[in-house]
Structures are given as structure tokens and as C-alpha cells.
Amino acid sequence: MGEARNQLRWADGKTIKNEVDLQVLHLLGPKTEADLEKKPKVRLETWMVFSCDMGTETQSLLEQLRGEALKFHKPGENYKTEGYVVTPNTMALLKQHLAITGGQVRTRFPPEPNGILHIGHAKAINFNFGYAKANGGVCFLRYDDTNPEKEEEKYFTAIREMVEWLGYQPYAVTHASDYFDQLYTWALELIRRGQAYVCHQRVEEIKGHNPPPSPWRDRPVEESLLLFEDMRKGKFGEGEATLRMKLVMEDGKMDPVAYRVKFTPHHRTGDKWCIYPTYDYTHCLCDSIEHITHSLCTKEFQARRSSYFWLCNALDVYCPVQWEYGRLNLLYTVVSKRKIIRLVETGAVRDWDDPRLFTLTALRRRGFPPEAINNFCARVGVTVAQATMEPHLLEACAREVLNEQAPRAMAVLEPLKVTITNFPAPKALEILVPNFPADDSRGFHKVPFHQTIYIEETDFREVRQDYTALTPGATACAAEAWQHWKRCCGRVIELEVTCTKSDAAEKPKAFIHWVSEPLACEVRLYERLFLHKNPEDPSEVPGGFLSDLNPDSLRVVHNALVDSSVRSARPFDKFQFERLGYFSVDPDSKEGKMVFNRTVTLKEDPGKA
């Protein structure tokens, strides 16, 4: 356990322990009385980790995925993989496969188009597309559109948009529905071979791991063929009949469903079908059709590996190899579609792209660069074990990228008017300010300097003190000394100051930022949406995740001011506002009122670590 935590020192300790317990249970089964006897303590050996050194010198994702790094099989050498089932036809099928692919690596990213992608999907995208890219191969984007009840066109569009936003181009965009005719033909063949049958047990009867055996398991082949045709013609109601495959899965589940009745029009095939294939039936066969070499999926699908091999071999078709890797989870958030819908319905968030969520559309709207998300996935590494990470690690990746990408500008969140009584020019001066102070070659922008400027209200103190701001009698920025200030309702609302040339004044006590002739804007400041690390854990949050919402997760500053130099910025453009943080232009911006989202502060808040 100690070695595992050392290898994954950013991961949550509780989650590591749970993962180890699950793996031990899967390998050894439930504890017996002998196991419960007290024994001398022994050290847990290292977790199997493909490449996960979370040190500062993290390998790039392509380096982690290239060549022999993962010990994956070479294209056409599927049979060398442990557990791969070899049949009399295997070598001939692999020879045909190599003739079609030319020995090229082929992967696929197969999301269900019934929700928006989240940070966990970013790892899957990087792994599938990254492995293909690192090894000179191609990756398909295949929509697993086998459940017409929950699929919407907006999800298809958003998924592809996010894949491309992360920097990947699919070799081809396909759909499981592209292969419905072939899948149906194969289902008939499976029945003819005595490997599938029509069953009338209800869903509630076959739930769980130990349901009663189907009384229709041994029904004659011809009878199942006729009944399956009746299913296709709509002669059975939903739940009255299913097509089941004759196999026992690795987790003990018996005879998984291959087809079920659904009287729901499909977004692509319309009313042509009233029966739809399941994941267990569709996935491996679509991989076979597309000649996928490496079927990469998260570890919860390990229990389906045996059915994956079984089905391809039962039909005598090319059988790819399934490889599993650990999921990526994040603390202080929820990512399940059902829970995000509840957040939207209750008004806790605006929509799937609310910047407090960790969907990819939300991260883009908040201002996270795609490079930062990819770098985060690289730092997590390609692990067999599930990784649960702190959000501040993702934020650190964002700072690294934004520091290089985001030009500088100035903004004031709580403006305090300052009038320079001895301003040395009859009209505003123009000051050239570098976009990136450390590199003048990356250009400049003009900032007006007028008799009236605005500073942060918190950058003025009435009583002189050892304070890095503007105080009576002190020098700060371009303003020196003070004459008087104006009050309203107990607050200082305006200052009158004098200015002195820098070469004639004493060294400033402080440097503060300011704006002159600014644009009015709205600024949205975000904090964590939930108060606890695991809002879905009843032991941490007995009242459920909706009871754990942070009341201070969003603060809107309606009357902020920003440099006029950002006037031409477009949605998702990013800036570093001096002394405040990194900000991104929100799509809600309109003529005369820009809206900015704070992506991250300039430095990590120690309280969040």
C-alpha cells in the first residue's frame, strides 16, 4: 500500500485503498474463515503501473504511449496476448486483417451520444487517439448509438467538437447504427449456431449476478429464429422478449442480452428498427468490422473481456484485443449524467457548460486551454489503477500553459476613482505595454493614461501603514501624495492625488494596477461547487450531493472595469489580468458589456492543496 501511494502520491489515499481491495476481491474472491485469522503483517507489492511517475519531469503522453512502453501486442500478433482465445481460424483471420490494415495500429473512441464529455473522457480521448498517433496509426470516432431513447443531436455535435478541441482529428466518424444490418445478420447466424436464444424473462428477473436460469435457454433453434423475426416485426411489447447469448461472463453474469425491443425511432435509421443491440453484443463486433487492433477501455469493462473474445470467435470473425486502463476521477465534483441533470434541473448550475462543472464544455467556457487538459492527462499517466486527483493539479497545468499563452491586460474589480490634479498633459497619453513582459518580440498594446484613472478599492488605505498600496503620503505606481478624498455612506468613493516623474520621486512603496478610459465589464469568480472531496459518498455527505453545494461557488462582479485594449476580444480569448488571475471571455458577452470568467488565480490557494 505504501509503495502504491508513493507511485501515485497525488491520488486520494482512500480511493487507492478501495481500488486495492476491489482488485484483491476480483483476484482471490471473498475472504474465508482462514483469511480472517490474524497473520503477521506483510507489505503490499507495487501496483502495476504502465508509466506513472508523477514527478516534475513528467513524460509527454506520446512518450508514454510509444512503441514498447505499454507492452501491448503488435498488429497481427493478437494471439501473443495473455488470455486471447485462439481458434482453428484465428491465424487465417489475422492474415486477412493485416492485408486490410497493412499492419497499422487502429484504435477507436466510442462514446455514447447521450451526454456531454467530462474530464474522465479526456483521458480516454488522449489514450485512444494518443496511442494511435504515437505509433503511426489511426483512431476512429465511433458513436455507440444503440439507445435511441436518450440520444440527441446536440450530443453528437458536442462530442466531436470536444475531440477536435483537444487537438485530435478522427480517421473516420462512424456509428454503431452504420452496422445495424450486419449486426442483425450475425444475430441470426448466432442463433443458427445454437449460441443464442429468445428469452421471455423480465428485466427485473435477470438483474444481479445470480438470477435464475432461463427456462427458454434450450428452446429449438428454429423456434428462436421465428421468435426473433417476430421481435423485429414488432409483435412483442417492450420487455416481453430479448435475444440472449449463451455464455458466462467473467463476473459470473450468465447469458447477457444481445437484443431488446424498443419502440423508439432512431435519430439516423428512423422507424426501420424496433429492436436494438446492446453494448455487450455491439461493441466487439463493431471493433471487428473496423479492424481495430487495440480496443482500449476503462477497467470496469474487464469483466466483459471474455464475452468480447467469445462472441467474435462464436461467429468466426476477426477478434481484436481488449486492453483495460484505470479511470480518471476528480475530487470535489460529480460527472455522472444523471447527477448533472439534477444540478441543472434544481438551478444549482446553468447547464452542462456551467464553468463550475468538469465537463469538457464547461472547462472550455471557464478558459482552460486544451493543452492544459492534455498535460494533466499526461501527468496522471497511463495506469491500470483508477486515479482520483485533486482539482488543484489541473489548475496548476492551466497556469503553466496560460502563463505562456495569455497576453497581459489590466482590470479592476472594485473600482475607486482617482483624479490626478497635476496631470502633465492636456489630453490622455498613450503608453505601450508589452503583451508578455518577458518577451517584447510578442508585441505590445496601447493603454491610455488620463487625468482620471481607477484602482482597486482595496489598494487604498486611509491610515498610513506598512502596506503595499496607496496610502496618505506614500508613493505608489504613478501617484504620489494625496490631497483629500471623498466619502459616501461611510466609504471612500474618490481620491485626488498628485503625480511626479519617476526619476524625481523616491522609490515607490508599492506597485498597483489601474485602468484609464476603461470598458465596463462583468466578471464571474468561481470556486469549488461542492464543499467535500467526495460529495457522492454517503459517509462524507449523508444528505446527498445536492446538500453539499458551496453557497459561495460563484460571485458575480457586475461593474468591473477593464483595459480598452481587449475591446476586440472574442469568446474564449484568454488574458492574464495583472495581479488578479487568468480570465477568459464568456460567450454571454455582447456589444457594450463584456463578460469574463476567472479560470484560475495567479497562484494556488494554499487552502485548496
Q: Which of 14, 66, 219, 337 is catalytic?
A: 337
CA distances from 35 to 23, 25, 30, 40, 46 (A): 16, 12, 9, 12, 21
49 forms bridges with which residues in the sheet?
A: 383
| Opening angle at CA 220, ends 217 and 221, nearest 5 | 100
Q: Are 5 and 13 in contact (CB under 8 A)?
A: yes
Residue 327 annotated in active site: yes
- Distance of alpha carbon 412 from the chain centroid: 32
What one-letter code names the amino acid at 602? L
Q: Which of 5, 66, 77, 112 is catalytic?
A: 112
CB-CB neighbours of 384 under 10 Å: 17
Q: Are 12 and 331 in contact (CB under 8 A)?
A: yes
562 forms bridges with which residues in the sheet?
A: 411, 519
Q: Are 493 and 417 in contact (CB under 8 A)?
A: yes
DSSP 200-221: ---GGGS-SSSPPPPTTTT--H
Nearest residue to 237 (alpha-carbon basis) of 271, 262, 205, 213: 262
Separation between Cα atoms, residue 22 and residue 15, nearest integer Å = 11
Classify 479 as helix, strand or coil: strand
Q: Which residue has the cell 464568456?
A: 586
Separation between Cα atoms, residue 435 and residue 422, nearest integer Å = 29
Strands, E assignment, 396-506: 408-409, 411-412, 415-420, 429-434, 444-449, 452-456, 475-476, 479-488, 491-499
Q: Which of 219, 327, 408, 509 is catalytic?
A: 327
Buried b (16+ CB within 10 A) or exposed e, 334-346: bbebebbebbeee
CB-CB neighbours of 571 under 10 Å: 14
Give the three cell numbers for residue 379: 501527468
Q: Are 275 and 229 in contact (CB under 8 A)?
A: no
Length of the chain: 609
CB-based contacts of 578, cutoff 8 Å, min separation 6 = 408, 409, 410, 411, 513
Task: Read off φ and ψ for residue 526, nearest 5 degrees.
Answer: -110, 145
Consecutive H or E run containing 559: strand 554-562
Residue 533 annotated in active site: no
Can you say whether the dihedral through the CA atoms of 241, 245, 249, 254 is positive or negative?
Answer: positive
What is the C-alpha end-to-end distance of the chain, expressed in Å? 22
Going by the DSSP 8-state scheme, the letter that residue 588 receives in this structure is: T
Give the three cell numbers for residue 260: 431488446
Positions marked active-site: 112, 327, 337
